[in-house]
Amino acid sequence: MALYNTTTKQEFEEHALQSERPVLVDFWAPWCPPCRAMAPLLEQIAEETEFDVVKVDTEASQDNAALALQHQVQSIPNMKIFKSGAVVAE
């Protein structure tokens, strides 16, 4: 479906929490080799499935760092699936 890179809480809410489709949220950072290795797979998921993919660079903004804390991200990469605004799988 679509791949979004978010840098604000508002973008996260729009693309992850308010989406009518299931959303795979990837919490990541550029310095993380496993995160970079997952990028092509996440692009493929966005293109070939009914999932939207939202990438949250945990170091790109204060909003993103706060989102990681709010969603109890303690290590990266960390992925969660949201549906109707709620986490349904981790």
Which residues have a catalytic role annotated?
A: 32, 35
Q: Parse the chain into domains and list their residue ranges.
A: 3-89
Reading the block at residue 27, the tokens are 């919490």
How many other β-carbons are positioned within 10 Å of the β-carbon of residue 27? Answer: 23
Q: Establish how many alpha carbons lie within 13 A of residue 89's alpha carbon, considering only the half-sphere containing its beta carbon.
A: 6
* Residue 62 pLDDT level (bands cut at 50, 70, 90): very high
pLDDT at 63 over 80: yes
What local confidence, expressed as pLDDT, does residue 34 receive?
97
What local confidence, expressed as pLDDT, does residue 1 receive?
72
- Domain 3-89's class? alpha beta
pLDDT tens-digit readout, 3-55: 999 989 999 999 999 999 999 999 999 999 999 999 999 999 999 999 999 99
